[in-house]
Structure 1
Amino acid sequence: MVASQKWPIRVIVTDCDIRRISLDQKPSNLESLLDHLKVKLALPYDFKLQFEDPLFNNALCNLTDVSELPDRATLKILSLESPSSISSALSSPSTSDTEILYTSEEKYQMMRPDSWPSAFDIPEFSVDVNFRLRQGDLAYMKDGTRMDVSRDMKHVILERLAETMYKYTAYPTEEHCREVSSALIAKHPCLKQAGSPTGYCGWKNSIKFKMGNFRTKVRRSGMADVTANGNKRQRDFPEGEPSCSNIKRPKRSETNFLPNFPDGQNANTLESVRRQLESEAKKRLPDSTDVKKMMDQTFSLRRKEIVEEQPSVMMERWPALFTESQVFAEFYRVASKNLKKDFYEALDHHTTRLIDLFRKGVVGQSLGHLLQPINSQVSVSDSSLLPLYGSVLDSDTADDFTQVPVGVLNVMTSDMPPLISSVAVIVEGNLVMDDIPTTSQALCLLFGLICALHLDYPKGMKNTFEFIQKILLNIGQQKLSPKLQTLKNALLG
């Protein structure tokens, strides 16, 4: 029988962590009790329960039915996971049902190794929820009966989905939420919702709102990628910026958009490492091993400056970033992808077809249009510098690039016909890399710098860079403009 008043219980989480909590009422079944305890105790793992049985002098027995519990029960948590995977989560007790705790080492180790998957894999839930879903799926396959999902069960499902989604991104898009909800009812068809044309509209909206709540929880643990947006205008921050103002989030599905500082480090200690890195990078022959080690170590400081302060090109503070090896290394830190390998493999795969399309047909005209000079050009000697491609004679040394947002500059010889002697990269009016052997390599490095420096694609070249990002490198959501979709269809046709 369900009690009409609060139900106090004593819970042995570990030998050193014994808590007294109260539930609003005695749950009607074991599954509901497990769900309540997982939320109330903020336990990030699955477990079973034992209880002190008064019939046997309070010896511990496995709990199989809530009706066996006395009015003032003592329960013991038995984890179903390995001790090593939960030790840090239990290092400090908490009675909050809305707080997620991470140690400083866990925060740093939550560097995301993978980008959003092409097919989202629905995680396993708690033992009892998995059992109920299996029973529901069997009933659905037998006679089409949809499951009546309880509030507690829905909470567990959404919380687990949010945890899994956060491993890929803190700010999932509408399309991400659609993919997850679609995958959920594909794996568990008993969760299809009546009256929804897709069967998952309600789940999609619930997932979207749950991610907002989940960000609030991890923000309290100090996760940098969400604390950066923590002081927006709300009841607790009436003087803050509007909630929709300048939200700092990945532009191109970057996996490690704004990571936490390494364990035991802060802005001051990392600034000291940065100064050593700057000194080493400016040597005539810097030690590449030391440079890489210090670039790895200061990655979180660099991302904090780039994302939160949005400075102009930082060649003075981070000279090592503007070298070929570190452009590729930084891209891997940010996006978890091998830019050089993926770019050239895609280029090799598509070049022949691109040349064919460029030479003929409507698609060729569209592609040619992408590479035509933009209206606003900058005069450079006897030629012009396009916002993407341009050329100067190698004797010209005082050219003005201040109005060029990004560019690949071919340095030509004075021969007739002229030949390319080297290629340079321009970012925000600054010539940041030169003596690059080929134009394709310069374009690859330019794309890497745009991502590393968190720059917007210039308006006149948005299609060009989205072609590189979404078609060549397969990064981010694959929703394309009509022009690029037509090009992609032609390439793959």
Structure 2
Amino acid sequence: MSTQAKLRVILQDHEIRKLDLPHGIPNTVDELESIVREKFGLEGNFTLHYKDADFGEEYFSLTSTNDIKDKDTIKVVHIVEPPTVTLTFTDGDSSFESASVASLPNSETSIHPASSSCSSGSQDTLILSSPEYVTHRTQRWPTTFPVPNFAYDTELVLASGNEDFKRDGIQLNFVTVLSDILEKLAESIFLYVAYPTSAQLNDVAEALIQKHPCLKEPGSHNGCYAWQQRLKYKMASYRSKLRGLGCPELDVNSLRKKRAHEKAPAKNIKKPKRAEVNYLPPHPQGETEGTLEHVRLELLDEVKKRNNCQVISEKMAKTFSIRRQEVVNQAPPISDLRDRWPALFDATQINEEFRRVTTVVLETTFMAKLDQYTLKIMALVSSRGGAAKMKIQHIKNMLLEEQTVERRREAAIRCLIVYMREQEEDLFKEQLDGDEVMKIVVSRGASEPANATVVIEGAEVLDGLTVPRACALLMGLIYALNLSYPKELKCTFEVFQKIFLELDALRASPKVMSLKGKLLH
């Protein structure tokens, strides 16, 4: 194995790299894993999978390097270790003393005084929620849908059908196993979304016929259109069944829960509209609305204590379900939410709430994509003329005053707004005037960096931020509080969501899709 070789390495669904092996493929899997770890800076435990041609290019665990050759594809599969939790019993009460931690950027001070316990400069770590609190979804819709295993007898029928199809091209008569196939697929779909889109149902149907080609339909334009329609009606039936069992994500849309003037099946449907993974999660096992309300009251005392981020994070994770029900079902004003959930208006907790709702890391993802596209965004707007040209020149002059990373990011965001033919003034203000629905107030000193304040419904909810970070945290608040995008800035916020945060990126408007194509070109 001394001949030079190259491998295609899938690190994540959206990150594929090339691995050069000048001395050829190593003799052992351990050696190859060490090379991959060192080359791509991977941390934690992982295994390598390879595509097996004998089984339709399905991935299998790599146990010998003899199974791969030059220009083959391998996939890095991370092994997720469960967090370590220690229970200490005192006076009949149990408390969590330690849990896994994840680093987050230092949090600026929230304008709400009660939030300072998690915003201290010394508190730059966040405690993840304990496993018993996690009753909601933990991952987004996959790039390739994993078709589940069906009942044993169904698998036997499909295996026989696949052999017949491979040998003679005979389609399987699947009437006897149709019910089991649809039921298992509906259960698997619900693990990701309750209301799948047509594109998502098409992903499932395509994955199904790829794994079981005997189910392919010869009269369909893509071989699976009828399966897509079957799944559509099956999901409606499955939702009805779960609604009857009290699933909160579905029960909220039952007629008995609607107000008198909204008692129509298709009116005011509450469901994810911006790729929320956990829109209305159920309560943690063993918890009720009453017990969670008691935890909320405890939180009001905890936020008043200094250096108390760990306890606050645990209680915020535990009360996630009751908080979402309040935000979605009641839509209270911001002033009421600040009184009832002061910790939610802390930068650290905004990041965590966004992660709970979408499974995406807010600030890291937003800033990484903004930095990636900054130069291209500014290049695109440079060719504009007329009034846009004057605005761009003003932004360039602002950039010349201070050549810093934060100023370049701010300039890119302002250029983006101009490129989308929207107004900077609709997002940024130099001073607060009146009851602003949603604004970022930017003040600049003679020799000090810009200070940004996030204002929602006339209330200053976050202060002491840079302009780019204020934009990221505003997106976090929109998701955490279930707010709508400002109509006059809908294209800009759609870019924030679908390009910078990569949420529901395949269903963008033509304007945003056009921009995405130019940025990726």
- Using structure 1 for the length normalisation, give the TM-score: 0.68
Alignment partner for residue 391 of structure 1, among 423, 430, 433? 430
Shift of 1:130: 1.6
Q: Could you tell me which residue of structure 1 aligns to residue 181 of structure 2? A: 157
Shift of 1:194: 3.5
Alignment partner for residue 319 of structure 1, among 342, 350, 359? 342
- Is the CA contact (8 Å cut-off) linking 2:133 and 2:317 kept in structure 1? no
Alignment partner for residue 112 of structure 1, among 137, 140, 143? 137
Q: Could you tell me which residue of structure 1 aligns to residue 301 of structure 2? A: 279
Q: Could you tell me which residue of structure 2 aligns to residue 356 of structure 1? A: 379
Alignment pair present for 1:177 and 2:201 = yes
Alignment partner for residue 304 of structure 1, among 308, 322, 325? 325
**Per the alignment, in what secondary structure is the counterpart of residue 455 of structure 1?**
coil
Distance 1:115 1:216, change over 3 A: same
Alignment pair present for 1:431 and 2:455 = no
Structure-2 separation of matches of 1:240 and 1:480: 29
Shift of 1:282: 4.0
Structure 2 residue identity aligned to 1:441: R
Structure 1 residue identity aligned to 2:383: K
Q: Could you tell me which residue of structure 1 aligns to residue 232 of structure 2? A: 208
Structure-1 separation of matches of 2:133 and 2:247: 9
Structure-1 separation of matches of 2:363 and 2:478: 15
**Deviations along 1:377-419, whole A, 9 cap, x unmatched?**
xxxxxxxx82312223xxxxxx4341x3322221123x4xx86
Shift of 1:343: 1.4
**Deviations along 1:37-67, whole A, 9 cap, x unmatched?**
xxxxxxxxxxxxxxxxxxxxxxxxxxxxxxx
Distance 1:238 1:447, change over 3 A: closer
Structure 2 residue identity aligned to 1:439: V
Structure-2 separation of matches of 1:110 and 1:164: 16
Distance 1:279 1:238, change over 3 A: closer
Shift of 1:490: 0.9
Structure 1 residue identity aligned to 2:150: F
**Identical residues among aligned pairs (%):** 35
Shift of 1:220: 3.0
Alignment pair present for 1:130 and 2:151 = no
Shift of 1:424: 0.7
Q: Which moved more, 1:158-167 or 1:177-186?
A: 177-186
Q: Could you tell me which residue of structure 2 aligns to residue 479 of structure 1? A: 507
Structure-1 separation of matches of 2:353 and 2:417: 32
- Is the CA contact (8 Å cut-off) linking 1:192 and 1:200 kept in structure 2? yes
Shift of 1:432: 0.9
**Deviations along 1:408-446, whole A, 9 cap, x unmatched?**
221123x4xx8654111112332211111x111111100
Alignment partner for residue 279 of structure 2, among 253, 257, 260? 257
Structure-2 separation of matches of 1:370 and 1:233: 43
- Is the CA contact (8 Å cut-off) linking 2:251 and 2:257 kept in structure 1? no
Q: Could you tell me which residue of structure 1 aligns to residue 98 of structure 2? A: none
Structure-1 separation of matches of 2:453 and 2:159: 60
Structure 1 residue identity aligned to 2:246: G
Matches within 5 A, 1:357-436: 357-360=380-383, 367=416, 369-370=418-419, 374=423, 386-392=425-431, 399-402=432-435, 404-413=436-445, 415=446, 420-436=449-465
RMSD: 2.8
Shift of 1:201: 1.5
- Is the CA contact (8 Å cut-off) linking 2:276 and 2:358 kept in structure 1? yes
**Deviations along 1:220-250, whole A, 9 cap, x unmatched?**
332211111223699xx99971000111111
Shift of 1:373: 5.7
Structure-2 separation of matches of 1:335 and 1:480: 17
**Deviations along 1:155-193, whole A, 9 cap, x unmatched?**
100000000000001111122112111221122221122
Distance 1:353 1:477, change over 3 A: closer
**Per the alignment, in what secondary structure is the counterpart of residue 478 of structure 1?**
helix
Shift of 1:119: 1.7
Shift of 1:477: 4.8
Q: Could you tell me which residue of structure 2 aligns to residue 57 of structure 1? A: none
**Deviations along 1:6-46, whole A, 9 cap, x unmatched?**
xxxxxxxxxxxxxxxxxxxxxxxxxxxxxxxxxxxxxxxxx
Greater Rg over alpha carbons, structure: 1
Structure-1 separation of matches of 2:375 and 2:261: 57
Alignment partner for residue 444 of structure 1, among 472, 478, 481? 472
Shift of 1:367: 4.3
Q: Could you tell me which residue of structure 1 aligns to residue 489 of structure 2? A: 461
Structure-2 separation of matches of 1:298 and 1:230: 24
Alignment partner for residue 292 of structure 1, among 297, 303, 313? 313
Structure-2 separation of matches of 1:448 and 1:298: 18
- Is the CA contact (8 Å cut-off) linking 2:381 and 2:419 kept in structure 1? no
Alignment partner for residue 253 of structure 2, among 220, 229, 235? 229
Structure 2 residue identity aligned to 1:132: V
**Per the alignment, in what secondary structure is the counterpart of residue 426 of structure 1?**
strand
Higher helix share: 2
**Per the alignment, in what secondary structure is the counterpart of residue 386 of structure 1?**
helix
Structure 2 residue identity aligned to 1:180: V
Shift of 1:319: 1.0
Structure-1 separation of matches of 2:350 and 2:262: 35
Shift of 1:216: 1.8
Shift of 1:195: 2.4
- Is the CA contact (8 Å cut-off) linking 1:410 and 1:420 kept in structure 2? no
> Looking at both structures, which has the greater relative contact order when contacts are Cα pairs under 8 Å and sequence separation is at least 6?
2
Q: Structure 1: any 5+ residue segments left out of the alignment?
A: 1-105, 375-384, 393-398
Alignment pair present for 1:243 and 2:292 = no
Structure-2 separation of matches of 1:267 and 1:179: 37
Q: Could you tell me which residue of structure 2 aligns to residue 147 of structure 1? A: 172
- Using structure 2 for the length normalisation, give the TM-score: 0.65
Distance 1:465 1:238, change over 3 A: closer
Shift of 1:369: 3.3
Shift of 1:287: 1.2
Shift of 1:361: 5.8
Structure 1 residue identity aligned to 2:216: K
Distance 1:212 1:368, change over 3 A: closer
Q: Could you tell me which residue of structure 1 aligns to residue 124 of structure 2? A: none
